[in-house]
């Protein structure tokens, strides 16, 4: 069930600890349940956890792909991705963080262009640092999903990002409040809207990461590939996000 053109969805945050990587994995589960061929690109280059979370091991990653492109050794993009199931592949972050500084940002754009030709959806996980690589992924994205928590520093950082987007007349981003991440703050949605200067588009409820989440993580499983995971309130929110992005 291919889309007319591959969508690029970037999932990011303005600070660490927002649950975005778990969200990426579960968004991929929703996409797979719709039989959309999806590649997760782990651009959280220094601390990417996607491959490890899904129990995938590979000798190749983004660094080896870039290195081969730079040295004319590249042949097939399939040599660098790992298959999770029939609909989900993963392009992993470097195993050795020392190699990250050797990745030239311009090659990220080349990689994303190649992946768009092969997949229905390119789903990118990033870190919260605004660097050249992340900016390239943002520019290439059809939609950017910002995961925030009910934390004052998080909200202040999001306000800054909203101001930057307003100055640049960019509006292809959505804000997702992840209430399942516990914080010491308890702002309501009205207060959060005033603090960040824009609407919260979606809310992941506190109940989403339940007691069984550890069973999925340790087993390398995706909760939203399980029908029980899809029918939770959090699973329904993630499904709504995907439906609105792919218009299905």
Domains defined along the chain, listed by start:
7-243 (3.40.50.300)
Q: What are phi and psi of 136, to 5 degrees?
A: -65, -40
Q: Is the pLDDT of residue 62 over 70?
A: yes
Q: Is the pLDDT of residue 248 over 70?
A: no
Q: Is the pLDDT of residue 44 over 70?
A: yes
Whole-number pLDDT of residue 47: 87
pTM, to two decimals: 0.94
CB atoms within 10 A of CB 97: 13
Higher pLDDT, 60 or 2: 60
What contacts 134, CB < 8 A, 6 or more positions away?
Answer: 12, 43, 126, 127
% of residues, the chain, pLDDT over 90: 78
Q: What is the mean pLDDT of the chain?
A: 92
d(CA 121, CA 107): 19
Q: Is the pLDDT of residue 211 over 60?
A: no
Q: Is the pLDDT of residue 150 over 90?
A: yes
Whole-number pLDDT of residue 214: 60
Query: For residues 100 and 46, is the Cβ–Cβ distance under 8 A?
Result: yes
Q: What is the pLDDT of residues 80-118, one digit of tens each?
A: 999 999 999 999 999 888 999 999 999 999 999 999 999
d(CA 10, CA 137): 7
Q: Is the pLDDT of residue 207 over 70?
A: yes
Q: What is the pLDDT of residues 12-22, one digit of tens each?
A: 999 999 999 99
Residue 93: DSSP 8-state? P
d(CA 235, CA 240): 9
């Amino acid at each position: 069930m291919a889309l007319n053109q591959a969508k690029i969805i970037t999932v990011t945050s303005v600070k660490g600890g927002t649950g975005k990587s778990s969200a990426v994995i579960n968004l991929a589960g929703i996409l797979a349940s719709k039989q959309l061929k999806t590649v997760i690109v782990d651009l959280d280059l220094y601390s990417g956890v996607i491959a490890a979370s899904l129990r995938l091991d590979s000798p190749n990653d983004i660094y080896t792909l870039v290195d081969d492109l730079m040295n004319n050794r590249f042949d097939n993009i399939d040599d660098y991705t790992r298959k999770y199931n029939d609909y989900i592949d993963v392009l992993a972050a470097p195993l050795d963080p020392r190699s990250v500084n050797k990745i030239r940002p311009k090659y990220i754009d080349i990689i994303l262009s190649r992946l768009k030709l092969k997949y229905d959806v390119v789903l990118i996980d990033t870190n919260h640092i605004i660097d050249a690589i992340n900016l390239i992924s943002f520019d290439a994205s059809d939609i950017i999903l910002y995961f925030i928590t009910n934390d004052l520093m998080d909200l202040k950082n999001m306000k800054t990002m909203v101001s930057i987007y307003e100055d640049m007349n960019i509006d292809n981003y959505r804000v997702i409040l992840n209430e399942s991440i516990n914080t010491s703050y308890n702002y309501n949605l009205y207060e959060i809207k005033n603090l960040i200067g824009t609407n919260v588009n979606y809310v992941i409820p506190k109940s989403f990461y339940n007691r069984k989440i550890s069973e999925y993580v340790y087993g390398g499983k995706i909760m939203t590939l399980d029908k029980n995971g899809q029918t939770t309130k959090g699973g329904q929110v993630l499904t709504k996000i995907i439906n609105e992005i792919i218009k299905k």
